[in-house]
Amino acid sequence: MSKVIVHSLFSEFDIDLFKGGKHYRLYEKFGSHITTVDGVKGTYFAVWAPSAKSVSVIGDFNFWIEGEHQLNVRWDESGIWEGFIPGVGKGSVYKYKIHSHNNDIKTEKADPYARRCEHPPKTASVVWEDSYNWEDAKWMKKRKKNNAIDAPFSVYEVHLGSWKRRVEEDRSLSYTELADELVAYVKEMNFTHVELMPIMEYPYDPSWGYQLTGYFAPTSRFGYPEEFKLLVDKLHQNDIGILLDWVPSHFPEDAHGLGFFDGSCLYEHPDKRKGYHPDWKSLIFNYGRNEVKSFLISNAIFWLDQYHADGLRVDAVASMLFLDYSREEGEWEPNMYGGRENLEAITFMKELNEEVYKSFPDVQTIAEESTSFPMVSKPTFIGGLGFGMKWMMGWMHDTLQYFAKEPIYRKHHQDDLTFSMTYAFTENFMLPLSHDEVVYGKKSIIGRMPGDEWQQFANLRLLYSYMFTHPGTNLLFMGAEFGQREEWNFQSSLDWHLLQYNYHSGIKHLITDLNLLYKTYPALYEKQFSGDGFEWISYDDHENSVLAYIRKGNKKKDSLVIACNFTPVPRNSYRIGLPNKGKLVQLFNSDSKSYGGTGDFDVSKTLIEDKDWHYRSYSAEINIPPLGAIVFKIE
């Protein structure tokens, strides 16, 4: 006989919103919630399973016996099963045993809304509540300014399991240890934000966290939920924002996960042409189902609300946008207008961004989107998808392809570098050198650079200097900031021992200074998404492989002049046209000795002359170092 007391957290309004796809705080209702009913303490459970004939909570409190605690189905045809179980409290381990109307199928599922999960490979959910006291009020009060699109945004992308490991214990750092060591490192490096590869619970380590089963639970691999809150809190207390990778594009078929949840295609689209991902052997959400839409948007809001995240980097947006993504002819069905766009997914993304920015105007959503789909980072009211930023995959591809070439051939490929400026201001672009670029035989970033050791590191310094002075925000994957030579391995720590060598420590010093330069000079961020913030001086000197350009802020006096030499031949007495008289004052030189360069081309000041050049009334002669970049301000 059931020992479940009839109880509900849902009002009729909640149900209407849920059915209409407009309930964006479902985590306050679904899942397990410790509460008191009629003076008795216990836990309220609620789960959506409309195809179920019965739903039981099984766990360590009833010896995992089905039927001991059978939930009650609501009368309103919402498909919600709920009830209060006395005596069940924090730390109790449970699943839902679902008996389906469909051919008497039984499934045993983890709670989709669980706040904590067992440590993999175990798969059950854990009743949890925490009373964490946040101490980041100062950051939260000013983060709208820190997270704005006209603020510096230099992102350090991190995989928590392999950033640094305790070798002697063969383990990753805990959330608590990361709150000390990662925070201190990111602060030292002058990054403005950290982006974490998915920290929501996932069963399979080689997926790097991109196949989720616990959407509302920080992975238990590194500690408790409140310990993850401590990590976020410490980042904020040190003026560092935190972005979370978020995966609404697909989910795995693991037996305890969302797939075939109640014996039916509940979360996934029932048509395999829309519901199965051939690349990742995973299931695709049914974006046209209102309750699924509410689940996903509630999940996005959850991490912003409960964990104070400063933004979400939305994974694999291109796979959501197009019905023919990774499919051959005949394997997909056109939309109602005969096109390839997934109209339901597009509507979902617009509603997601509208709700995020309505509730949290001080955060950013960032799309990992690799196609030319228009207006990804434009507001929905003018027809855009509503994201705050979009990854500039074209820049990444063209730039890495260019730098892999021997310098003698680069004069034939200068358009690989200049092409990005033809579309740089069509979106709010973030320039990514992400984890995807240092795996699966692509080599590390330094491993792509041609030449001897000196040239490889000079090329790397030049690449980063060009990246940080190019319009847009920046993202750098861990290890790239000190020239990690090996490809990234999710099972191993970064090669921190390399920092004992001058070239590697020089790259680390360079990134630290580039971040400081970016944060200090408004010309590099105030108009980073506007054509008003950029002006070519020279883009067509193919023979010398030189680029020169101006970055502009809101004030004319803030303008910076950048010159890059993409060959190992010094460009001495190289004349560039300039907008006004005065002196060029060097702010940064990638060839400085402290970075591992020659140190032979450091000049503190250069006089600007009354001499026409590059269609300008003034000009100056500068010495551009081999495989180097220099940044000047005009005094």
Q: Tell me whether residue 359 is in a domain.
A: yes
Q: Tell me whether residue 525 is in a domain.
A: no
Would you say residue 120 has pLDDT above 80?
yes
Longest dimension (CA), the chain: 95
Q: Tell me whether residue 32 is in a domain.
A: yes
Q: What is the pLDDT of residue 102?
A: 79
Q: What is the pLDDT of residue 320?
A: 97
% of the chain surpassing 70 pLDDT: 100
Active site residue 495: no
Would you say residue 603 has pLDDT above 90?
no
pLDDT average, residue stretch 285-293: 97
Please give the backbone phi and psi of residue 313, each rounded to the nearest 5 degrees, phi first: -95, 110
Would you say residue 566 has pLDDT above 90?
yes
Residues 283 and 351 in one domain: yes
Q: Which domain holds residue 56?
A: 12-126
Residues 371 and 498 in one domain: yes
Query: Of 126, 142, 161, which residue is a domain's last?
Result: 126
Q: What is the pLDDT of residue 101?
A: 87
- Candidate from 103-112, 252-261, 535-544 with smallest mean pLDDT: 103-112
Q: Tell me whether residue 188 is in a domain.
A: yes
**What is the residue type of 113?**
Y
Would you say residue 502 has pLDDT above 60?
yes
Looking at every residue in the chain, the average pLDDT score rounds to 96
Q: How confident is the model at residue 293 (pLDDT cuts 50, 70, 90)?
A: very high
Q: What is the pLDDT of residue 31?
A: 98
pLDDT average, residue stretch 374-403: 97
pLDDT tens, 344-363? 999 999 999 999 999 999 99
pLDDT average, residue stretch 257-284: 95
Residues 27 and 160 in one domain: no
Q: What is the pLDDT of residue 168?
A: 87
Would you say residue 1 has pLDDT above 70?
no
CA dihedral 107, 112, 114, 116 (to 10 degrees): 90
504: three-class secondary structure by DSSP: helix
CATH number (domain holding residue 109): 2.60.40.10
Residues 475 and 555 in one domain: no
Residues 120 and 232 in one domain: no
Q: Tell me whether residue 135 is in a domain.
A: no
Q: What is the pLDDT of residue 2?
A: 55
Residues 599 and 505 in one domain: no
Tokens 């904590």 sit on residue:
116
Residues 445 and 306 in one domain: yes
pLDDT average, residue stretch 203-221: 96
> pTM of the full predicted structure?
0.96
pLDDT tens, 146-183? 999 999 999 999 999 999 999 888 899 999 999 999 99
Peptide bond just before 198 cis, omega within 30 deg: no
**Number of structural domains in the chain:** 3
Query: Of 66, 91, 126, which residue is a domain's last?
Result: 126
Q: How confident is the model at residue 602 (pLDDT cuts 50, 70, 90)?
A: confident
Per annotation, catalytic residue among 111, 262, 344, 368: 368
Q: Tell me whether residue 392 is in a domain.
A: yes
Please list, residue by residue across 504-531, b when 16 or more beta carbons sit within 10 angstroms of its beta carbon and e when fewer do.
bbbbbbbbbbbbebbbebbbbbbbbbee
Per annotation, catalytic residue among 14, 201, 310, 315: 315
Would you say residue 473 has pLDDT above 80?
yes
Residues 504 and 605 in one domain: no
Q: Tell me whether residue 147 is in a domain.
A: no
End-to-end CA distance of the chain: 84
Q: Tell me whether residue 208 is in a domain.
A: yes
Active site residue 315: yes
Residues 502 and 575 in one domain: no
Residues 388 and 335 in one domain: yes
